Amino acid sequence: MEYLQTFWADLPVVVQILLKIAAIMVPLLITVAYYTYAERKVIGHMQARMGPNRVGLFGFRLLGLGQPIADAVKLMFKEIIIPSGANKLLFLLAPLLSIGPALAAWAVFPFDAGLVLADINAGLLYILALTSLGVYGIIIAGWASNSKYALLGAMRSAAQIVAYEIAMGFALVGVLVAAGSLNLGEIVAAQQGNLLNWYWLPLLPLFVIYFISGVAETNRAPFDVAEGESEIVAGFHVEYSGMTFAVFFLAEYANMILISALTALMFLGGWLSPFQGTPLAGWFDWVPGIFWFLMKTGFFMFCFLWFRATFPRYRYDQIMRLGWKVFIPITIVWIVLIAWLKVA
Amino acid sequence: MSFQLLLFYLFAAVLIGAALMVITRRNPVHSALFLVLAFFSCSGLWMLAEAEFLAIALVLVYVGAVMVLFLFVVMMLDINLAELRAGFVRNAPVAVLVALLIGAQLVLILGPERFGLAQFAAPVPKPADYSNTEALGLALFTEHLYAFEIAAVILLVGIIAAISLTLRRRPTTRYQNPGQQVRVQAKDRLRVVKMDAEDVA
């Protein structure tokens, strides 16, 4: 153990940081792969189907656990078709622009007390800035494809993301007013105490608005008009094939995990144990904080799938109305209320 | 040369290059994307100057919101390039004159005698727990309160003016009332008629 510690300390800082990035990215990408599997399984069971159950590993079926790997291999060997008249450079750049921010946002994420790659004091602002960049991938994909469906999808998506980003930003302003800090670790620390101290209760409207806006921001059902299979085929990524298409998918699922993790962090007390402040607290002391964090994140990830299996797609004008005329006014009122409570 | 200086020159070079591309590209979408790159490198420069709140806010506001709307509009435009370039030769002398004037003014004002390194000592690096955001908030709401409030009011006036200029209500347009739509019940729309079974002979 001591040998390992000295070995770690002797490594150059760049190598240390790279190893930490790998320690976040590898589990994240595996989660993304198995999230697609979970989606098909969960929705399958909700609709009284089996979901994928054929592709296994090493000759065993294992409930179809080999499916994501088979999908990845299939996508890698498919041809990347670039439409004639498409802007080649931007066409290939768009998937990268959509996955980059989704992965970079994890840099400031505290998984447990002190377990964070970059503990910067404007962490919340950094996350807001990066999530707002995801829209570029979609707009550029829509424009560079030189296709009407793609452009329409991109326009819908851009308008929707801009609208819901404001509601999301305001919901987070409420959190930062309540916590008095932009540092994610301090925001979690401010929720110490017990389950009722977590911000889901004091900031209940903001909690609901944040998560719904998160669903809209990631273009997921019931807000998936940007893809709208039944009207505009697949929206902004209709012209993409093979790995370029897969990267868009990875970005979408990475964003869903990011939103789930952020909701857990901001409103459900991150790594804090739900038994804190109850007589049971002593029994669960041995559970590492990251376990609670992952459980909470997992719950919201499940909600994404649950919504998709439950709700019919929103009409486009209703999406806009919900964003601009319902969510934004409610968040503004709640921010003022919280600021007043904080000062009084 | 320190690593920071290297970063400074890198960001500065990208910034100037991107800014040049903004005004020389024929395709307005490319120009807008280069402007995004310029904002990014500018944000990097501000980060080096330890203004991390402003640096992230620049990305959040300009890249994340303003430029998205810019692109939105630019992609919709059907621009006739020949028409755009028609007046180029005729207007060139005036443009050169204006450019020279602005250049001369910049050199006179921002010259080394006023803005040289001698006038500005390198700032002392702040400790890690120094919160840029807090310092900015304190300065805005104490020293510069009036300027801040006046700026806010001007922005509000701008918003109202922009909306009232573009808001047109045509009498022929028919609006939906979402509240009414939500309140609709099945019995308002659907009448179930009870019928006797047909007598099949």
Question: What digits encode the pLDDT tens for the residues A320-333?
Answer: 888 888 889 999 99
- pLDDT of B163 > 80? The answer is yes
Residue B177 has pLDDT above 70, yes or no: yes
Instruction: For residues A116 and A112, give the distance between their C-alpha atoms in angstroms, rounded to a whole number.
Output: 7
Average pLDDT, chain B: 84
Does residue A197 sit at the B interface (CB-CB below 8 Å)? no
> What whole-number distance in Å separates Cα of residue A236 and Cα of residue A91?
11
Contact (CB<8Å) A122/B53: yes
Confidence label for A162 from pLDDT (cuts 50, 70 and 90): confident
Assigned token pair, A102:
């989704």
| Half-sphere exposure at residue B193, Cβ-oriented, CA atoms within 13 angstroms | 3
Beta-bridge partners for A60: A57
Q: Across the interface, do A321 and B63 touch by the CB < 8 Å criterion?
A: no
Contacts of A200 (CB under 8 A, 6+ apart): A207, A267, A268
Which residues on neighbouring strands pair with residue A112, listed in sequence order? A115
Query: Which of A125, A130, A342 to mutate: most B Cβ within 10 Å?
Result: A125
Ordered DSSP codes for A191-221: T-SSGGGSTTTTTHHHHHHHHHHHHHHTT-T
Res. A268 pLDDT band, cuts 50 70 90: confident
- Check: CB of residue A108 under 8 Å from CB of residue A116: yes
C-alpha B111/C-alpha B92 separation (Å) is 27
Answer yes or no: is pLDDT of B187 > 80.
yes
Looking at residue B82, its pLDDT comes to 65
List for chain B the helix, strand, coil content (%; round to 5).
70, 0, 30
State residue B41 phi and psi, 5-degree precision: -70, -35
Nearest by CB to residue A139, choosing from B63, B68, B132, is B68
Mutate to test the interface with A, among B34, B50, B72 (most CBs of A within 10 A): B72
In whole angstroms, what is the distance from residue A142 CA to residue A87 CA?
A: 11
Q: What is the pLDDT of residue A321?
A: 85
Phi then psi dihedrals of residue A112, to 5 deg: -155, 175
The answer to whether residue A4 scores a pLDDT higher than 90 is no
Nearest residue, CB atoms, A158 vs list B59, B68, B176: B68
Q: How far is A56 from chain B (nearest CA, A)?
A: 43
Q: Indicate the pLDDT class of residue B174, thresholds 50, 70 and 90.
A: confident
Tell me if residue B175 falls in helix, strand or coil: coil
Mean pLDDT of chain A: 84
Which pLDDT belongs to residue A198? 84
Distance CA A209, CA A328 (A): 9
What chain B residue is nearest to A169 in terms of C-alpha separation?
Answer: B60
Look at residue A269 in the predicted model and tell me its pLDDT.
Answer: 82
B151 pLDDT band, cuts 50/70/90, is: very high
Contacts of A176 in chain B (CB under 8 A): none
Q: ipTM of this predicted complex?
A: 0.81
Chain B residue nearest residue A166, CA to CA: B65
Q: How far is B188 from chain A (nearest CA, A)?
A: 21
